[in-house]
Structure 1
Amino acid sequence: MGKEDVNYDIVPAFPEEVNLVEALVSTFPELQDEYETHMGNDEEVLPHLFFWDMIQHLVASFLNRDKDDALDWSAILDFLEKSFLEEQTERTGQAGESYSVVDSLIATAFLGQLPWPGTPGYGICSHLGPTLMRRFRQIRPHG
């Protein structure tokens, strides 16, 4: 197979992933740059890439939280906690062990990419809400 035969198209995002990202940007307009940066060829956001840049912005704000212009990192954590819990409850009737597209996105693109122990910004992990913390400990039992 030659290089010209390879299809480099990115698999489109699930609607639930796009909805979560758009809700974040709507609630936190400071994330608009990250959103626009990660628009795919079809003018649809690429959620995993968006979350990567959002984490960088979030952690920088956490580390510089005494500055007036910092992103409200705690409000974003609260938003994700609420979104995660509501999505789980809506799907299962309770916060449980059932996984979905949104769970997968938050687990892999957000929780799994937070700073590791011993790196700058790791302290933000201690501010996760109870539902996100439970999932964080499942995917990263050693922090």
Structure 2
Amino acid sequence: MSEKSIDFIHRLVAAFPPLELDYEAHIENNGEVLPHMFLVLDLMPTLVSAYLGDPEYQDVDWLGVLGFLDRELAADPAPGEIRGAILTSFVDNLPGSDQLGYGIHRHLGPNLAEAFWSKFPNG
């Protein structure tokens, strides 16, 4: 992975300190930062758990993280690395109607929402 996408993950974790545990586990399991894997396997379950009100994740500002991702998506020109990671590893993996956490998509900012609805027009 490039320094740009790794820096993106570092900025995300720095902006939301409760994600540090996920980040540390990610590094321990993978030996390095793998941005796509972090978004799918570490961030998504944490955000969904926080969204669902799991007490273990009460300190995770899931709305703030969604806002951060929305701003990052807007700031990265197509087809930038950060944009690609957010679209393929985050938006594509939002919970479907048959999964726990379905409904989190209703809280996406305008850029993430546009990407979500263009991929999943039926929600």
Q: Same fold (TM over 0.5)?
A: yes
Q: CA deviation digits over 1:54-113, x for unaligned, max 9?
A: 11010000010789934111000011111111223xxxxxxxxx3221111001111111
What's the secondary structure of 1:122's corresponding residue?
Answer: coil
Greater radius of gyration (CA): 1
* TM-score, length of structure 2 as denominator length: 0.86
Instruction: For residue 36 of structure 1, report the CA deviation from its aligned partner.
Output: 1.6
| Equivalent of 1:99 in 79, 83, 90 | 79
| Equivalent of 1:83 in 72, 88, 112 | 72
Task: Could you tell me which runs of 5 or more consecutive residues in structure 2 were left unpaired when the two chains were aligned.
Answer: none
Give the structure 1 partner of residue 16 of structure 2.
28
The question of 1:15 aligning with 2:12 is answered no
| Equivalent of 2:25 in 17, 33, 37 | 37
| Paired letter, 2:102 | Y
Task: Could you tell me which runs of 5 or more consecutive residues in structure 1 were left unpaired when the two chains were aligned.
Answer: 1-12, 89-97
Asked if 2 retains the 8 angstrom alpha-carbon contact of 1:64 and 1:70, the reply is no
Structure in which a larger fraction of residues adopt helix = 2
Aligned 1:38-57 pairs, distance under 5 A: 38-39=26-27, 40-41=30-31, 44-52=32-40, 53-57=42-46
1:119–1:56 CA distance, 2 compared to 1 (3 A): same
Asked if 2 retains the 8 angstrom alpha-carbon contact of 1:48 and 1:105, the reply is yes
What's the secondary structure of 2:103's corresponding residue?
Answer: helix
Please list every run of at least 4 consecutive aligned residues from structure 1 whose deviation after the TM superposition is greater than 3 angstroms: 65-68
Give the structure 1 partner of residue 115 of structure 2.
135
CA distance in 2, matches of 1:131, 1:65: 27
| Equivalent residue pairs, number | 120
